[in-house]
Amino acid sequence: MYVVTGATGQLGRLVVEGLLAAVPASEIAVVVRSAAKAEEWAEQGVRVHEADYGRPETLVGAFSAGDRVLLISGNEFGSRVSQHGAVIDAAKAAGVALLAYTSILGTATFRLGDEHKATEELLLGSGLPYALLRNGWYTENYLGDVAGTVERGVVLGSAGDGRVATAARKDYADAAVAVLTGEGHENRVYELSGDVAWSLSELAAELTEASGRPVEHRDVPAAAHREVLVGAGMPEGFAEVFVDVDAGIARGELAGTSGDLARLIGRPTVPLADSVRAALNA
């Protein structure tokens, strides 16, 4: 079985849809917090197991010997290491054939990467065959409120001229499908990022061209960036994460273009301009 945990999240849904296009539904299982959110897949023949990373007892029976599992990282900052460890323990007890984990680029030193690195250590220490999918930044991270950005006419950040080699979420999902369904990925580490690194000034230029309205890049000090995010309603903890990541971008930690992602998916990664236009059209 091909098993996807956290399958109803934004990345997980794309992975499952990719698997459905590649293998029979009867060979796919999903591990989700709410079975109701996976009803459409269950109707197609996908096996649904309801479980919570934070409740290890619910993971019993989620995996079987020989399964190829994708562990999609959780989103509860501060609790992820123990939660991921529970999944790894359950997978080891079941004797899965491969456990792939959505980590973060190895060049990242910002705090968001700490729990990923700790999870990697747990996975390597488990003795399970593994694949580390070290995902870079998603282009969608910058386009969630693209209409508002264009209306305000400002791309705000504190990364200076730092560059970031983003890729579309679907690029990363396709890579996960390739690793789950392909051969020779055991005990491999993939540094996954887009083909081209760009700056926030270039994002502003793409938004200007695609929308026909002027959008400028405004770089501000970290404290001011944090204040703006919190003022816009973002919880302080998340604001700290975003500002800290921008500091990492300024240091060049998300600018790497290894080519691993394009090689895994067998095509170029989605260009920034295409993602911008798709977001505006949506």
Query: pLDDT (tens digit, 0 to 9) for every residue of the chain, 282 residues total?
Result: 999 999 999 999 999 999 999 999 999 999 999 999 999 999 999 999 999 999 999 999 999 999 999 999 998 887 899 999 999 999 999 999 999 999 999 999 999 999 999 999 999 999 999 999 999 999 999 999 999 999 999 999 999 999 999 999 999 999 999 999 999 999 999 999 999 999 999 999 999 999 999 999 999 999 999 999 999 898 998 899 999 999 999 999 999 999 999 999 999 999 999 999 999 998
3-state secondary structure of 155: strand
Residue 31 backbone dihedrals phi, psi, to 5 degrees: -115, 115
Q: Which amino acid is located at 156 in the chain?
A: L
What's residue 237's pLDDT? 87
Identify any residues that bridge with 192 across adjacent strands, giving them in sequence order: 135
What's residue 191's pLDDT? 98
Cα gap 67→209, rounded to integer Å: 47
What's residue 156's pLDDT? 96
**Which 8-state DSSP code applies to residue 124?**
H
What's residue 238's pLDDT? 87
Structural domains in the chain, sorted by start: 2-135 (3.40.50.720), 138-166+194-255+271-282 (3.90.25.10)
**Which 8-state DSSP code applies to residue 269?**
P
- Helix, strand and coil content of the chain, in percent to the nearest 5, comes to 50, 20, 35
Q: Which residues of 14-46 are buried (b: 16+ CB within 10 A; e: fewer)?
A: bbbebbbebeebebbbbbbbeeebbeebeeeeb
Q: Which amino acid is located at 259 in the chain?
A: G
Neighbours of 69 (CB within 10 A): 27
Cα gap 62→60, rounded to integer Å: 6
What's residue 27's pLDDT? 98
Task: Quote the distance between the C-alpha of residue 102 and its chain's center.
Answer: 7
Could you report how far apart the first and last alpha carbons of the chain are, in Å? 35
Nearest to 113 by CA among 89, 86, 137, 96: 137
